[in-house]
Amino acid sequence: MPDTASVPAQRPMAVTLQVVSIVLFTFIGYLNIGIPLAVLPGYVHSDLGFGAVAAGLVISVQYLATLLSRPYAGRIIDNKGSKKAVLYGLFGCGLSGVFMLLSAWLQNLPMLSLISLFIGRLVLGGAESLVGSGSIGWGIGRVGASNTAKVISWNGIASYGALAVGAPLGVLLVREFGLWSMGVSIILLASIGLILAWPKKPAPIVHGERMPFLHVLGRVLPHGTGLALGGIGFGTIATFITLYYASHSWPNAVLCLSLFGACFIGARLLFGSFIHRIGGFRVAIACLLVETLGLLLLWLAPSPTLALAGAALTGFGFSLVFPALGVEAVNLVPASSRGAAVGAYSLFIDLSLGITGPVAGAIASGFGFASIFLFAALAALVGMVLSVYLYRQARQLHEGRT
């Protein structure tokens, strides 16, 4: 990814349009993730007959696969180019749809169906790291490093917008046609993405010394930890909101996912510029506080209406955590290693979402589904405290240099 100096100045609207044309592939990739999101926990728990931990793990295993594939994705982005990473990722999305189809056909053999589902989720996890990080790298490469916050923000809008659309779409598909329709939809979407991405101009590869991935990881570790703590709230809602609603006999659990995504997108559109104006750390602190309040409301919610309000607050709060801390993290490495930095930073959200499923499932088994939102709220609160510490450290460093 080139530095700002190597990218000609462009009008703000031209930059935005160019960014949107690239993060479209993130939207397609995450639509493939969102379609089965609200269906699989119930399918594993109710149709296949496995427990709450298995229901959580079938979601979390995808994020664990994404985490493990981040270093490889970063190397592809820095050495082969962001466009190739996106193409590889879209192909992986299509392959995951094949395993989804196989799982549907094996429903009468629960263990084989679950194994096929897990394999497909692993493939999808690797594809997610390539499409998500690749699109960020491609976008920064096309519009310059000075627009990093804009690229990361729009990439997040694409990803969570896709989840908000995909979750109810998956429920509708399964209700009208059956589980097999999700697999077919994923294959078709991936094919469309490949057709659209193939002719697009790639970003130039920046030549220079590549920092070892572990060195990059060390630099972004504090920022990534704050992101991981904030991500537990999203992971808890994405994995267990349907079972939480079912435990209260409340209808329309999928609305929580949609409202979370809508508020997430709205906050990014309305307040994304605040990262550039007041700094990433300040934005992260405010957002993690709002997220904490939303998760506490979900924990205490006596009705589905207040649960929806809690999901909305959580989505609004979590919206800018990734780009706010991400801008501070990515600026710590040279341009030639930004692909690795994006991958290293992003793996913390994968770690968060990967751990959340089984851990929250175990908490729910022992204390009930409401308790997992208290757990997530405490994690977000710790993330806010960490962000305050990082902000003070950065300010002291800046004052020391001046």
Q: pLDDT of 292-339, one tens digit each?
A: 999 999 999 888 889 999 999 999 999 899 889 988 888 777 766 777
pLDDT class of 375 with cuts at 50, 70, 90: very high
pLDDT at residue 4 greater than cutoff 60 = no
Within 10 angstroms of residue 383's Cβ, the number of other Cβ atoms is 29
Instruction: Tell which wins on pLDDT, 2 or 345.
Output: 345
For 95, the 3-state DSSP assignment is helix
Count structural domains, the chain: 1
373 to 168, 291, 356, 378, 387: CA distances (angstroms): 22, 11, 11, 9, 21
pLDDT at residue 290 greater than cutoff 90 = yes
pLDDT at residue 2 greater than cutoff 50 = no
Cβ(29)–Cβ(127) below 8 Å: yes
Nearest to 146 by CA among 4, 324, 339, 329: 4
Mean pLDDT computed over 275-286: 90
Q: Return the residue matching tokens 């180019």.
A: 81
pLDDT of residue 390: 93
CA 396, CA 117: separation in Å to the nearest integer?
49
Which domain, by its residues, includes 229?
Answer: 4-8+11-203+211-401
pLDDT class of 261 with cuts at 50, 70, 90: confident
Q: Return the residue matching tokens 């295993």.
A: 61
pLDDT of residue 90: 95
Q: What is the mean pLDDT of the chain?
A: 85
Residue 28's identity, in one-letter code, is I
Mean pLDDT computed over 235-259: 83
Exposure pattern of 53-77 as b/e (b: 16+ CB <10 Å)? Answer: bbbbbbbbbbbbbbbbbbbebbbbb
Domain CATH for 62: 1.20.1250.20
pLDDT at residue 163 greater than cutoff 80 = no
pLDDT at residue 62 greater than cutoff 50 = yes
